[in-house]
Structure 1
Amino acid sequence: MQKIRPCLWFDGQAQEAAEFYVSVFGGDSRVVDISRSSDGAPGETGSVLTVDFVLAGQEYLGLNGGPHFHFSEAISLSVDCADQEEVDTLWAKLTDGGEESMCGWLKDRYGLSWQIVPRALPELLGDPDRAKADRVMKAMMGMRKLDVQALRDA
């Protein structure tokens, strides 16, 4: 078990969300365990309380805590994408039922914010030619889904 793992608060959708995320990321992703409510715990006795799951090797805990709290952009999951194909694939899957935002950010159907970041972006933004890096930043600021070729062309 990982020493520190994010806990994601859901309103009854923890298992559905975990299964969705596992389907999106595949590979080293899986639902590990599901615990159910007992007397005195949130939800009806026997309903899903928590879901332990792994996405790309990272452990998470999904909690069905009720309607009291919601996700915001104050926390997001940033995904390192090898290339444009991976950006496109993840963007399409995670925005299905969700919404696009700016600069490679999106909210999925559960309201969780994601940053879908091509691996080339940090390199381009860190270019020693500050004018070039500034052009990349300006180009990125005008995008929703990030376009690696357009960033390189900047």
Structure 2
Amino acid sequence: MSLVTGDQAPDFDLPGAGGEVVTLARLQGRKVVLYFYPKDDTSGCTLEAQGFNALGEAFAEADAVVIGVSPDSVKSHDKFCAKYGLTFPLASDEGKAMLEAYGVWVQKSMYGKTYMGVERTTVLIDRAGKIARVWPKVKVPGHADEVLEAARTLA
């Protein structure tokens, strides 16, 4: 299933780093940036997290909440947050139900082998809980800035 602009964002209730529970319903009325990434503490995922983290104040000024989501465990997220000083929530979807609901748990291939994994994707959700924009197959450099600009212009 692939989400498109205007769709209602699937709700979720996931464990997060630091024992926090991350749920979309509690963020109703705010803009939400969900960025889906494959794995904690890998080069691309670290750069992406650092990009969003560096713009934390600007996202807050735009009334947007940033949430990172991967299938890694809460323990892994805790270590990742501590190592890089991440100040936004990371949600753990070890069961992959939320990743599947957002259409980012996909078949991938590398070196001739196929496997299931997270397609690096970002979703901007408006204050009413609808999908405002989707960035599929994200390239990390400059991405957080692009998402911030979209969040700023979203009513």
The higher relative CO (CA closer than 8 Å, separation ≥ 6) is in 2
Q: Which has the larger radius of gyration?
A: 1
- What TM-score, normalized by structure 1, do the two folds share? 0.27
TM-score (norm 2): 0.27
